[in-house]
Amino acid sequence: MGLFVGLTIEELECIMTSKRIDLPQGTLDLLILRTLALGSQHGWAISERVQQISSDVLQIQQGSLYPALHRLERRGWIKAEWGTSDNNRRAKYYRLTPAGKRQLHAEAESWLKLTAAVAQVLESI
């Protein structure tokens, strides 16, 4: 049986037209680490990059982003340094540390296992 069997036309239309979704708990760190694997970024650019890569489906609120960046920095997974942004403003730039690269690998592996298992359950219903 398919994932959408039993849904009404209205429910399917709602699913297809929903543009943004809330981030599932526990994914913010993974998204930040993955974004920083592409290179050093300041906070606003991290948020914009996630939104861009996800085709505007994922949006990181500033009230969630900066506490997460500070938490990742305290854990030693990212390092922050002050620099100048493209528009000549002072900005804190974040980069992935070697420990952050290891954490990214571990979290990405766990996420892929979890999503595959959830997909199996959803497709079996």
Give the tens place of pLDDT for each residue, 19-67: 666 777 679 999 999 999 999 999 999 999 999 999 988 989 889 999 9
With 0-12 CB in 10 A as exposed, 13-18 as middle and 19+ as buried, what is 31? buried
- The total number of structural domains in the chain stands at 1
State which residues form the domain around 66.
19-116
Q: pLDDT tens-digit profile of 79-102?
A: 999 998 888 999 999 999 999 999
Residue 121: inside a domain: no
Q: What is the CATH number of the domain that holds 43?
A: 1.10.10.10
Over 80: is that where the pLDDT of 107 sits? yes
At residue 45, φ and ψ (nearest 5 deg) are -65, -35
With 0-12 CB in 10 A as exposed, 13-18 as middle and 19+ as buried, what is 74? exposed
Residue 38: inside a domain: yes
What's this model's pTM, rounded to 2 decimal places? 0.79
Residue 35: inside a domain: yes
Residue 50: inside a domain: yes
